[in-house]
Amino acid sequence: MHTMPTLGANRTADRAQTRELLSSATYDLLIIGGGILGTAVAWTAAQSGLRVAMVDAGDFAGATSSASSKLVHGGLRYLQTGAVKLVAENHKERRALSTDVAPHLVNPLTFFVPVYKGGPHSAPKLGAGVFLYSALSAFRDGMGHVATAARAGQAVPALKTEGLRSVAVYGDHQMNDSRVAVMTVRAAVDSGAVVLNHAEVKGLRFTGGRVTGAEVRDRLTGEEFGVDARLVLNATGPWVDHLRAMEDANAAPSIRLSKGAHVVLRRKAPWNAALTIPIDKYRVSFAIPWEDHVLLGTTDEEYTGDPADVRATQADVDQILGEAAHAIRDEHLDRDLITYSFAGLRVLPGGPGQTAAAKRETVVTEGRGGMLSVAGGKWTTYRHIGRVVLDKLAHVPGTGLAEDMSTIPRTVPLPGVASPNAVAHRLLVDREPGARMDPLVARHLATHYGTLSFDLARMIDDDPSLGRRIHPDGPDVWAQVAYAVDHEWAATADDVLRRRTTSTVRGLDTPEVRAEIDAFLATRLPQA
C-alpha cells in the first residue's frame, strides 16, 4: 500500500499546495470528473490503498449530479419492466445508505400513488405493486398497501380529491444530493485522495500510445500543470465523448443524453408525504416535500445541445406544472410560488430508440489509449457502482493495480454519521446561557452536516457573527459559508449558494446576498 502526503482531513488545502501535490507524484489512478461516478470511484479506490487524484472542470457534483430528483429509492416503476432483481439490489443499497452510511443525510419518506377514476392504473394493480415493492425491501419501511382518499387528503392537503378513489402507499428515502457529494469527496480525501475542483483537463498525456495522465488548467488562477497516472478514468458524464475524442480523434459517439428538469415551489400547506403521480402507463411525475419546499419533476427528452447550456426552459416548467396538476390543486401550483428550476442530463448508452425506454445502466469502456470511460450512474447505487468500476480497474492488463489494492470494508460511513435528532438535541442543550441556537437552524445543521454541526457551532461560539442567517427567510447561516470555503472546496458564490447551502433552491440568492458572498470569498480564499 502506498503512503501519500495528505492535506489533513479537516482542511480544504490551499489550491497552490494541491496543484503542487498533483503535479509532483505519479498516481495509480487519475479520475477526471467529480460527479456521482467520479466521487464514488475516488472514495472506493482510496479505501483500497491506491494513490488517487480527482479533478473536475467545475465544482464537485456541479452539473447533473446535483440536479437529480433527490431520491434514494428502489425504483417502483422498474417493477413494470420486470426488473425485480434490480429493485431488490436498489433496496439493499438504499437501506445501507439510510442506516449505516449516511443516516444524517438520507431521510425516510412516505409516498402516495393516487388512483383516479379513468387513470392509467387500477387500485388492485397498484396495491399489488407496492406490496411487492415493500416485500423486496423485507418490509423494512412498512408494508405497501392501499389507503383511503380521506387519509391521503389529510396528509397532503394539496392533493386533488375529485375522482380520487384511493392511494397506494409505500416507503422510500430522499436526500440532498449536493451534500452527499461533498461528504463523499471528503470521505475520499480522508482515505488519502488528492482532489481539485475548477480544474479543467485541456489534453491527455501519452507514453508509447497509452494515456498516462492529463494536462490541467486551474480555472480560478489560470495556472497550468500536469498529472501523471498509471491509469486514467474518464468519468465526465455528459462530456464523456469529448474526452474520448482527446484519446482517439476517431472515437465513435458512445452515449446519448436525456434531459430531466425540475421545479421547486414554496408550499402553502403541510406536505407529510410525497406523491408519485402516474402520467401514463410508464411515466410518473414526483411531487416531493424537500427543504421546506415542494420539488416537482421530472421530464425525459433527448438533448443534443451543449451540456454546459442545459437548463429548465419555459416549456419544461409548463410540462412539469401540467403533469403535477393531474393530482395537485391549482392554487398550490401558482407560478408565483416557484423559487427555482433546474435541469440535468442523464447519460444513456448510445443507440436508437426512445430515451425514456433506454436502459439506466453504468457502462465501462476501454479506449485505444487504455483510458477507461464510465458513463451512467445513479445516487441510490453509487457505492455499488464504485465497487464495480474498481473491480474493472483491477483487471486492466499491464497496470499492475491489483497487487497494490487491499480489500475494502463493506460499509464505511460518510463523515458526520449520526442520528440528526440526537445532533439537533445536543446543539440546542449544549449551549452557554444566552447563546441558545435557533431550533430551526439546529435542525437544519443536523440534517446537512450530522456531527460536523458541532464544528460549525464552535465557529459560531468563537465568532457570533457567523450565527447570522445568510438571508432572513432561510435557515442557512454564515458559519456554513466559512465552513464551505475552509473544509468543502467552495470557491465561487454558486458553489456556496447552490451546492453547500440551500439558499438557491429557496430562491434566496438575491443580488445582495451574492455580493456579500463574493466579498466574503475574496477575503477568505487563499490567494493563488
Helix, strand, coil in percent for the chain, rounding step 5: 40, 25, 35
In this structure, is residue 411 part of a structural domain? no
Q: Are residues 485 and 517 in the same domain?
A: yes
Model confidence at 8, pLDDT cuts 50, 70, 90, reads very low
Cβ-count burial 151-182 (b if 16+ within 10 Å, e if not)? ebeebbbbbbeeebebbbbbbbbbbbbbbbbb
In this structure, is residue 83 part of a structural domain? yes
In this structure, is residue 443 part of a structural domain? yes
- CATH number for the domain spanning 183: value is 3.50.50.60
Model confidence at 127, pLDDT cuts 50, 70, 90, reads confident
Task: Round to whole Å and give the CA distance between 216 and 239.
Answer: 16
Residue 6 has pLDDT above 50, yes or no: no
**Which whole number is the average pLDDT over 173-191?**
96
Q: Are residues 127 and 272 in the same domain?
A: yes
Question: Which residue, 110, 104, 190, is CA-closest to 156?
Answer: 110
Model confidence at 354, pLDDT cuts 50, 70, 90, reads low
Q: Are residues 262 and 241 in the same domain?
A: no
Between 79 and 451, the more confident residue is 451
pLDDT digits (tens, 9 = 90+) for 377-423: 889 999 999 999 999 988 888 888 888 889 988 899 999 999 999 99
In this structure, is residue 528 part of a structural domain? no
Task: Round to whole Å and give the CA distance between 216 and 367.
Answer: 20
Kindly state the cell numbers that stand for 431.
449551549
In this structure, is residue 380 part of a structural domain? yes
Q: Are residues 296 and 438 in the same domain?
A: no
Q: Are residues 437 and 345 in the same domain?
A: no
| pLDDT for 119 | 79
Are residues 196 and 308 in contact, defined by beta-carbon separation less than 8 angstroms?
no
Residue 167 has pLDDT above 50, yes or no: yes
Task: Round to whole Å and give the CA distance between 352 and 375.
Answer: 17
Q: Are residues 152 and 186 in the same domain?
A: no
CA distances 485 to 179, 429, 482, 524, Å, are: 14, 28, 5, 7
Q: Are residues 371 and 471 in the same domain?
A: no
Residue 12 has pLDDT above 70, yes or no: no
CA distances 151 to 89, 273, 348, Å, are: 31, 11, 39
| pLDDT for 397 | 84
Are residues 207 and 190 in contact, defined by beta-carbon separation less than 8 angstroms?
no
Model confidence at 2, pLDDT cuts 50, 70, 90, reads very low
In this structure, is residue 1 part of a structural domain? no
Kindly state the cell numbers that stand for 422.
440526537
Task: Round to whole Å and give the CA distance between 413 and 197.
Answer: 23
What is the distance in angstroms between the CA of the first residue and the CA of the last residue of the chain?
Answer: 32
Domain hosting residue 337, numbered range: 73-175+256-350
Q: What's phi and psi for 253, nearest 5 deg?
A: -55, 140
Give the residue from 334, 350, 366 where a domain finishes: 350
pLDDT digits (tens, 9 = 90+) for 460-505: 999 999 999 999 999 999 999 999 999 999 999 999 999 999 999 9
Question: Which residue, 204, 197, 202, is CA-closest to 220?
Answer: 197
Q: Are residues 127 and 237 in the same domain?
A: no
Q: Are residues 221 and 265 in the same domain?
A: no
Cα dihedral 505→510→516→518 (10° resolution)? 70
Residue 433 has pLDDT above 50, yes or no: yes
Kindly state the cell numbers that stand for 148.
383511503
Looking at the structure of the chain, the number of domains it has is 3
- CATH number for the domain spanning 121: value is 3.30.9.10
| pLDDT for 3 | 38
pLDDT digits (tens, 9 = 90+) for 267-320: 999 999 999 999 887 788 999 999 999 999 999 999 999 999 999 999 999 999
Model confidence at 5, pLDDT cuts 50, 70, 90, reads very low
Residue 82 has pLDDT above 90, yes or no: no
The DSSP symbol for 291 reads T
pTM: 0.93
Question: Which residue, 412, 17, 32, 334, is CA-closest to 202?
Answer: 32
Q: Are residues 194 and 183 in the same domain?
A: yes
Q: Are residues 120 and 147 in the same domain?
A: yes
Q: Characterize the bridge pairing of strands 164-175 and 145-148.
A: antiparallel
In this structure, is residue 514 part of a structural domain? yes
| Residue 330 CB coordination number (10 Å) | 11
Q: Are residues 467 and 519 in the same domain?
A: yes
| pLDDT for 355 | 60
In this structure, is residue 10 part of a structural domain? no
